[in-house]
DNA sequence: TATTAACTACGAAACTTTTCGTAATCAAGA
DNA sequence: TCTTGATTACGAAAAGTTTCGTAGTTAATA
């Protein structure tokens, strides 16, 4: 499949995408309320972002209703890949192993998650 | 120890830090040459960045000689942590396990590295 | 000492991102 | 229909990032 180049979202855009991924399609009002749980941000600010994101193709919106309903237009996994690759290059000199170990060390990953990762490792080693 | 808040470097700053971490203390000239292997960038552009980074405390410099010698003022690991934490929050909803699995899946990690990670997992599970 | 090459310092333009005020539009209720 | 509240559209200011031109400084050397 031809890989379409993904626009790298800015920090603010990513916050909004996050909300849309988590909550599904939402109005500006809803997104703004969720954003405001963390930090104060004006309604029109959020609106403007979402309009820009719409132009960029990061989100799409349904305009049937008076208050438009926005949803993410790009896949969370794809963006994760873009950002992860970039971080890998710019901060970890391309060493995925280092990145992984840092990630595991920094966060308190649960036993369950550790097991999941181990299983995944097994699959990887078998598969290749 | 009181954790000093690290300034999050910009993309361009990170590229320069990367070079300093890898090559050790260097002059602007050297850094600029390395940058130019990837993309054209004017000498004074690089100089300016390094001056700004000096003001921000991201690098320090020795001015004894005519051409100043710059070195990273912050630890690579600390920045990795800052950036990784941020990515974790903004793109992976805080799930380190997801991040790790994506990282392993995307990159072709060598058998050796996989083993390193497995060992690290073991240590983690024992230790806790 | 006068010239030149290698640097640094400074300032500002160009571009991107973030933030919000104001105006226009619409839907519902008085 | 008139008003009001909710919403979108637009434009532009503010702030941050990137880029580089020009001028000044220094050290070596002709």
Contact B99 A103 (CB under 8 A): yes
| pLDDT at position A4 | 52
Is the whole-model pTM more than 0.85? Answer: yes
**Choice among A3-17, A21-35, A68-82, B82-96 with the minimum mean pLDDT:** A3-17
Among protein residues, the one whose C-alpha sits closest to the C1' atom of C11 is: B48
Query: Which stretches of A1-128 are assigned E, i.e. beta strand?
Result: 59-62, 69-72
Q: Which of A15, A80, A103 sits opposite B84 (nearest CB)?
A: A103
**Count of helix runs (H) and strand runs (E) in chain A:** 6, 2
Which helix or strand (DSSP H or E) is residue A15 part of?
Answer: helix A11-23
| pLDDT at position B21 | 96
| pLDDT at position B54 | 97
| pLDDT at position B2 | 45
d(CA B54, CA B19): 15
Examine the pLDDT at B128 and tell me if it is beyond 70.
no
State the DSSP string of chain A.
---PPPPPP-HHHHHHHHHHHHH-SB-HHHHHHHHHHHS---HHHHHHHHHHHHHHTSEEEE-SSSS-EEEE-S-HHHHHHHHHHHHHHHHHTT-HHHHHHHHHHHS---HHHHHHHHHHHHHHHHH-
Examine the pLDDT at A80 and tell me if it is beyond 70.
yes
Interval B15-30: pLDDT, tens: 999 999 999 999 999 9
Contact A104 B124 (CB under 8 A): yes
**Residues near chain C (nucleic strand), Cβ < 7 A?**
A 10-13, 40-42, 44-45, 47-49, 52, 66; B 27-29, 43-44, 47-48, 51, 66-68
CA distances from B117 to B16, B74, B80, B123 (A): 28, 26, 17, 10
Which range among A2-6, A50-54, A87-91, B119-123 has the greatest average pLDDT? A50-54
Beta-carbon contacts below 8 Å between A and B: 126
| pLDDT at position B105 | 86
Average pLDDT rounded to a whole number, residues A7-23: 95
Q: Which of A22, A84, A101 sits opposite B117 (nearest CB)?
A: A101
**A75 CA vs D9 C1’ separation (Å):** 28
Interval B92-119: pLDDT, tens: 988 999 999 999 987 778 888 899 999 9
- Which residue carries 């899946």 as its tokens? B105
d(CA B98, CA A115): 12
State which nucleotides on strand D lie below 7 Å from a protein beta carbon. Answer: 6-12, 16-22, 26-27
**A19 CA vs D7 C1’ separation (Å):** 20
Work out the burial of residue B85: count CB atoms within 10 Å of its CB; fewer than 13 is exposed, 13-18 middle, 19 or more buried. Answer: middle
Distance of CA B23 to the CA centre of its chain: 13
| pLDDT at position B24 | 97
pLDDT band at A5 (very low <50, low <70, confident <90, very high): low
| pLDDT at position B110 | 85
Interface of A with B in 21-40 (CB under 8 A): 21-22
Q: Which of B11, B102, B109 sits opposite A84 (nearest CB)?
A: B102
């Amino acid at each position: 499949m031809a890989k379409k180049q993904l626009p790298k979202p800015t920090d603010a855009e990513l916050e909004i995408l996050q909300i849309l991924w988590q909550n599904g399609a939402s109005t500006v009002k809803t997104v703004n309320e969720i954003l405001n749980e963390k930090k104060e941000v004006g309604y029109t600010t959020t609106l403007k972002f979402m309009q820009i994101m719409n132009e960029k193709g990061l989100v799409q919106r349904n305009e049937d209703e008076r208050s438009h309903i926005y949803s993410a237009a790009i896949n969370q996994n794809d963006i994760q890949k873009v950002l992860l690759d970039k971080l890998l290059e710019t901060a970890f000199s391309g060493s995925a192993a280092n990145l992984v170990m840092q990630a595991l060390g920094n966060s308190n990953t649960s036993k369950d998650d550790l097991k999941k990762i181990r299983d995944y490792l097994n699959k990887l080693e078998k598969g290749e």
